[in-house]
Chains A and B, each alone.
Chain A
Amino acid sequence: MLDGPSVVAALQDCGVTHVVWIPDSDLGQWDSALSTASGLQLLRVCREGEAIALAAGLHLGGRRPIVVIQCTGLFEAGDTLRNILHDLHLPLFFVIGVRSYYAHKQGASTDSCPVFTEPILRAWQVPYVVFERNHTAGDLAAAYRQAQTKNQAFAVLLAE
């Protein structure tokens, strides 16, 4: 289970410097822990494409940001993601909340978010992993470190 304090501890341990985000109702529960974390700056933006571009600037300037958004924002931010990952080749790390993932899996939701999130990431050539309830902040840290080692963009999809 990923909660704010454990996520913060994992990100601090990984040397992440900035979290650029627009939260959804699940990710938003991390707000308090993220906004008070030492050595970790929480940056709020207005739209998800901005989050990616801002993180790109931080990365160019030598910092270690991650982007935390909901899948709906991923859909909106496609052009920025394409540009930053595939034109500028910046290996950004994403945590993306997938709205209605569990309900969809149970056939109890008509929300199209879970239908399109993974195909869109595959289309944009972004490797990813789905985190369900059994995943921990340690798994998040491991995913981040692996992406850093490979110097590649990577997304953790957080089932909601």
Chain B
Amino acid sequence: MMTLRESLEILAARRGQRIVITTMSSAGVWPSLSDTPLDFTYIPSAMGQAPPLGLGLALAQPERGVIVINGDGCTLMNLGCLVTLAHHSANVYLIILDNGLYEVTGGQPTAGVGHADFAGLARAAGIQRVYTFDKTDAWRAGAAEALTGAGPVVVWLKVEGRIGQKTPKAPRSMTEQITRLRQVLGVKP
């Protein structure tokens, strides 16, 4: 098992010039690893909707990939997104950080803890490139392959759950985030 921070450090080293959308637990850590206009903290969010948001960005900007960092709880809330991702050819890299918990609400277990097979779900949805890592060294060794090449890609990372975490906040307002992102993408307001 790896820590949340370890998993994200490895991802940050491999993200390149892709857009990174963070949600829930990852949103509390990612800004300390990367805080550029291409980093989009999806807070406030509609839980479960970061993957389609990322898919839309990837379809709009096909030359630039999008990494979506989702929790297991977020993913369970919108499992249909796996089918939607599989249906569209787009460079979306969905990272599922699975700690078995609703961490930001105090650490209550999800309905999928211990039995939900996110890799199996992704494959069954039709996603061809699916990776699973539960140890830091393995993720470090496999990240380059997982994050290279065409999407959609699903990476299931099993990470340690944390109890007592505060609900994360975005480093800046949503309006400012959108303005920064659009500027760097060359999109007119």
Q: Interface residues, chain A, CB within 8 Å of chain B?
A: 18, 20, 41, 43-47, 49-63, 65, 79-80, 82-84, 87-89
Contacts and interface: CB of A to CB of B under 8 A. Distances in A.
A62 B84 contact: no
B71 to A, nearest CB: 16
Contacts of B61: 61-62
B49 interface: yes
Contact of A60 (B49, B50, B78, B182): B182
Contact of A57 (B55, B80, B87, B186): B55
Interface in B63-97: 78, 80-81, 83-84, 87-88
B59 A58 contact: yes
Contacts of B46: 49, 53, 79-80, 82-84
B174 A50 contact: no
Contacts of A46: 80-81, 83-84
A54 B80 contact: no
Contact of B59 (A61, A80, A83, A84): A61
Nearest to A41: B59
B81 A65 contact: no
